[in-house]
Amino acid sequence: MNKQLNGRVAVITGASSGIGLHTARLLAAQGAKVAVVARRKESLDRLVAEIEQAGGVAMALALDVTDQASVDAAAAKVEQTWGPASLVFNNAGVMLPNAIEANLRSDTTQQIDLNVHGLMHVIHAFVPQLVKAAEQGVTADLINTSSIAGQYVFPYFSVYSATKAFVSHLSRHLRAELGAKKVRVSMIEPGIVSTELQSHVTNQGVKDWLAGAAQQYEFLQPQDVAEVVSFLAALPAHVNLMQVTVMPTGQA
């Protein structure tokens, strides 16, 4: 195994499936101690068992990132167990595209709560640890999952796209603020990735569009994005790749 992340303490949100799960596997294989965060305890326990069986080190933190107190408690547990986190992959999110006239206020609230408030809860809880890790001479990374929807305009994606625009622009500001403290901030903006995120879509027009796209080109796989996270984290400490847009080759 390539142990290029030996000594790093990684926290991964949205780790029960998709991009988060595959990133946890990869970072653990590269030597990082991995704390996996999501609501589904059973899925996290299976992932931890798998990582440990492969010789890695992991812990499961079953919680909802929209609850600041729970995130704060998890951050304290990570630091007490392994020391300050030096790699935070802020990846939890939800995508519920629909027409604004459908007036699905619960979908709006859910997307803003998870994609914005949940993201900020993780930042508030773990940035002090990232700063501490950097002060101790350890490479420190905050990596946020955004989306190409944060840059482009798609019908029915108004709320989701707005939340991801928040993630992208916030990341730019945080890089300017935290770079002086030797904490790198990066954002990954994927195109279409084959994950369960799409299974939550209820709008028939969007479902038809996704089905048609799948017939035209090969979607990204979660492990493709995990490789990008690994690459960012393994760069020399003085190098900050701030923004990575990763697309299926065939997606226009």
Considering the candidates 152, 156, 160, 217, report the single residue annotated as catalytic: 160
The string of pLDDT tens digits covering residues 85-119 is 999 999 999 999 999 999 899 999 999 999 999 99
152 has catalytic annotation: no
Contacts (Cβ under 8 Å, ≥6 apart) of 239: none
For the chain, what is the radius of gyration of the CA atoms?
17
3-class SS at 232? helix
What is the number of H-type helices and E-type strands within the chain?
A: 8, 7
Q: Is the pLDDT of residue 1 over 70?
A: no
CA geometry: angle at 30 spanning 7 and 23, to 5°? 110
Identify residue 30 by its one-letter amino acid code: Q
The string of pLDDT tens digits covering residues 20-75 is 999 999 999 999 999 999 999 999 999 999 999 999 999 999 999 999 999 999 99
Which has the closest alpha carbon to 11: 170, 231, 233?
233
The string of pLDDT tens digits covering residues 120-170 is 999 999 999 999 999 999 999 999 999 999 999 999 999 999 999 999 999
Beta-strand relationship, 9-13 and 87-90: parallel
CA distance 148 to 136: 35
